[in-house]
Structure 1
C-alpha cells in the first residue's frame, strides 16, 4: 500500500498515520487510523540530532523533523493523528500543540513519556505504561480487517479448492531479538508438522516471510519435495498470506512474530504457536495468550479445536477513538 491518501472507512474524518517508517509500526498506525477515518495519509518522518533527544512537549522538536513521505506536516490539520514508536510520539505531541489542540492523538506502544500527553495510548500487557487513558490489549494492532480477509478468501478460493482437508496453514517468521529461528528449529517444526499430518491427513501450506533464513526455508522445501500434500510458497507471484489466513482450517505460527500471531487471532481458526527458544518478551506474550485460552503451543498432536473469540485489538482501540472523536464534536 502506498503512502498516498487512501479511502478506508465510511466517514468524513481525516487522519495521519505517523511513523519513522518501520514496517511493523506502519502497519499498526495505519491499521488503527483506517478503522476510524475516511481519509488516511501515511506520514513517514525522521528526527535529526539533537532534536531526537527532546522530550515530548518541546514544540521546538518540529524544527528537527524531516518528512520522508506523505507531504508536509502543515495545515489543514487532521482530526486524528495515530503515531507508533517513541520518535513519532514526540512529533505527535508537538503537532497537537502546533494545531491548537485540534487533533485527537493516539499512540500505539509505550510512548516512554507521560501518557497524559495523549488522548489515548494503546499498549500491550508487557508495556509498563499506565494511566486512565491507557487501553491495554492482548495483541499487536494490525490492518487485517474482516473485509480484507473476506477479499482474500475470494481471491484464493480457486487455489484452495483442490487441497485435501483439513488445510494447515503455516506462517514462518525468522530470527529477531526475541527468537533464533534457524535450521535446527525449522527441522523441529517440520517434524511436528509431519507428525500432525500423519494423524489428520489433509494438506500443509507454508508461507515464509522476508525474515525466514534460506537454511530454514530449505528444510521445508526438502520436506515438501517428498510430500505431495505439502506446499511451500517460493516467493513468486502474489503472496498467499491473506488467503492462508482466510481459508486454512487451522493455523501454526512461529512465535518470533507478534504481528503474525496477532493477525492469525483475527481469524476464527484454531491457532497454535511454535514457541521454541523465545526470549522473555516474546515468551511472555505467548504465555499470556495461552493463559487466556486463545492459542496452544504447537506440539504436533491433533488437539481438538478449542472455542475462542476472534481477537481484534485494532477494532477495540478504534471503538475508543470513535467515542473520543464524537465527544469532541
Structure 2
C-alpha cells in the first residue's frame, strides 16, 4: 500500500517541484475494525506516525492516502487545513467518493463518481530510470544468464486464491519446460504470502535450471529482475505485480492459481491488460510480443497536477 501512495507522489514530484513526507498510520487494535465514521483521533496507535503537521507547520498541498486506515484521516485533513489540502485517495475507498478531491481507483474495482479517475491496476513506483538504477548491484549474478531471461513473480495465499504444494509443483514443471525449450534462464522471487511448502517445492524443481532464485537474504532483486527480463510470469493473485510488470513493455504471462472464491476483479484486470496488449494467459510457451508500456501512474499524476497544482503555481 505504501508503494501505491509513494509511487503516485513521486510521479507528481517528477512534474512539479515537491517535497514528499511519508506518514505511516495505524489504529489501536481494539478500534481497528470500527467503521471509519466512528473513529476518533484518540483511537490512533500512539506508536504510529502523527498524521497531521505540527502546530505552526504548513499543511501539505496534497494528501495521498492508501488503505482503509487512512480514510477518516484524509477527510479530517480537509477540514483541519481549512480546505487548503487536497485529498487524493487510491484504491476503492468504499466510502462516498465525493468526499475526496480525487479517487484514483483500479478500473477493475468498478468505482464510479465524478471525481473518480479509473486506471489500469494501481499506482506504483516502477519507472525506466528506477529499473536501470536497480540493475548494477545484481549484474554479477544476472549477466551470465542466457536469454531469454524469464522473471517469475510468485504470489501466494489470499482471500481469493491459494498456492497448494501440488499446484506449485505443476507450475514449476510448466515453467521449467518453457525455459528449457527456449534455452533460456530463470529469475525467481516469491511473495511474503507464498506458503513455505509451496516455495520449497518450486525452489527444488527450478533450482536445477540456469537461475537466480532470491531466498530473501541480501537486497531485494525485484526491480533488477523486471529490468533485465525478456518475459515476465506473474501469478494471477496480485494486481500490483501484474500492473508493475505491464509498465515495462515486456510480455506479461499470467500464471493460474487455485481459486478460493470469486475472483472477478482479477479477471477484469487481466482482461484490461489483454485489451491493452500487455498480458496473456501463460500457455507454456515464451513467444515474444510488443506493446506500449503502461504509464498509468504518470497519467494519474498529470491529472492531479492539472486539476489541483497548476492553478496555485
TM-score tier, shorter chain, comes to: 0.7 to 0.9
Structure 1 position 119 matched with structure 2 position 101: yes
- Structure 1 length as normaliser, TM-score? 0.84
Deviation of 1:51 (Å): 10
What is the CA deviation profile of residues 93-144 of structure 1, one whole-angstrom value per residue up to 9, with x for unaligned ones?
A: 1111100000111000122222222221111123242122211111111122
Match of 2:22 in 1: 42
Residues 1:165 and 2:147 aligned together: yes
For these two proteins, the number of residue pairs brought into alignment is 300
Tell me the TM-score normalized by structure 2: 0.88
In structure 2, stretches of 5+ residues that fail to align are none
Say if 1:214 and 1:86 are closer, same or farther in 2 by CA, change over 3 A. Answer: closer
The partner residue of 1:277 within 258, 261, 276 is 258
Contact 2:97 2:113 in 1 (8 A): yes
**1:262, distance to aligned residue in structure 2 (A):** 1.4
Q: Residue deviations 1:185-242, cap 9 Å, x none?
A: 21121121122123211111211122222211122222234x2423422222222111
Match of 1:212 among 194, 202, 211: 194
Q: Is the 8 A contact 1:220 1:232 kept in 2?
A: no
Partner of 2:285: 301
In structure 2, what is the equivalent of residue 314 of structure 1? 297
For 2:109 and 2:280, the matched residues in 1 are separated by 23
Q: 1:289 aligns with which of 273, 280, 288?
A: 273
**Using the alignment, how far apart are the partners of 1:67 and 1:39 within structure 2?**
25
SS of corresponding position for 2:20: strand
In structure 1, how many angstroms separate the alpha carbons of the residues matched to 2:236 and 2:290?
A: 21
- Seen in structure 2, the aligned counterparts of structure 1 residues 51 and 152 have a Cα distance that, compared at 3 Å, is closer
Q: 1:32 maps to what in 2?
A: 8
Give the structure 2 partner of residue 255 of structure 1. Answer: 236
Residue by residue over 1:19-69, the C-alpha shift from the partner in whole angstroms, topping out at 9 and shown as x without a partner, is: xxxxxx2111121112224322221223464994353xx9x8445444644
CA distance in 1, matches of 2:179, 2:24: 44
SS of aligned partner of 1:41: coil
RMSD, aligned CA:
2.2
SS of residue matched to 1:205:
strand
Shift of 1:70: 3.5
Contact 1:157/1:247 (<8 A) preserved: no
* 1:123–1:134 Cα contact (<8 Å) kept: yes
Distance 2:265 2:111 in 1: 15
CA–CA distance in 2 between the matches of 1:314 and 1:150? 18
Say yes or no: does 1:140 pair with 2:122: yes
Shift of 1:261: 1.2
2:249 to 259, 268, 278: 268
Which structure carries more strand by proportion?
1
1:162 alignment partner, SS class? coil
Distance 2:47 2:289 in 1: 45
Q: 2:231·2:251 contact (CA, 8 Å) conserved in 1?
A: yes
**8 Å contact kept, 1:275–1:283:** no
Greater relative CO, 1 or 2 (CA 8 Å, sep 6+): 2
Q: Residue 135 of structure 2 aligns to a residue in which SS?
A: helix
Contact 1:51–1:64, Cα closer than 8 Å, also in 2: no
Structure 1 portions without partners, runs of 5+: 1-24
Question: Which stretch has the larger CA shift, 172-181 or 305-314?
Answer: 305-314
1:228 and 1:165, CA in 2 relative to 1: closer, same or farther beyond 3 A?
same
Query: Secondary structure at 2:108's aligned position in 1?
Result: coil
